[in-house]
Structure 1
């Protein structure tokens, strides 16, 4: 047996999938009233659609899908109204 140290091969520089991403600007991660409202409305729609799928009720399933699409519209409208990340209606607390 050899007592030579074993080292794992190192990947070549610049081969990662995120090499072209600029990390200087914060992303915000969607922490805004518009994002939370969008997610809440879409979750309610998904719950309705899932229950309708299980009980095989097509009209209620379609209503759930429509509610999910409505969530997208509500979120877009709230973002345009200034309630999105960095929006004019939000107080910047520095956190």
Structure 2
């Protein structure tokens, strides 16, 4: 496969930030579900949505794969 035009499969600050926030939300949601704390399960579901919004906002601010504030690293 060709790498021409490949944005790097999410190797951008926006993608990394979104994934870390959403991974933390998923892990906390699983823990709170196991500890039977439904309010905190729903709060972690909200944090999951916040992670997606933060990733989108950072991408629009130029930190995404095609943003002007992101320089891809050579492999």
Q: Same fold (TM over 0.5)?
A: yes
RMSD (Å), alpha carbons: 1.7
Which contiguous aligned blocks of 4+ residues in structure 1 show a shift greater than 2 angstroms?
none
String of CA shifts for 1:28-79, please: whole Å, max 9, x gaps: 2000000000000001101110011101110000011000110000000000
Q: Matched residues in 2 for 1:33 and 1:81: separation? A: 11
Higher relative contact order (CA 8 A, sep 6+): 2
In the other structure, the counterpart of 2:39 is 59
Task: Indicate the structure with greater helix content.
Answer: 2
The 5-angstrom pairing of residues 1-95 of structure 1 reads 24-93=4-73, 95=74
Return the index of the structure with the highest Cα Rg: 1
Length, aligned pairs only? 73
Segments of 5+ residues of structure 2 without an aligned counterpart are none
Segments of 5+ residues of structure 1 without an aligned counterpart are 1-22
Q: 1:61 to 1:91 in 2, by over 3 A?
A: same
**TM-score, length basis structure 1:** 0.70
**TM-score, length basis structure 2:** 0.87
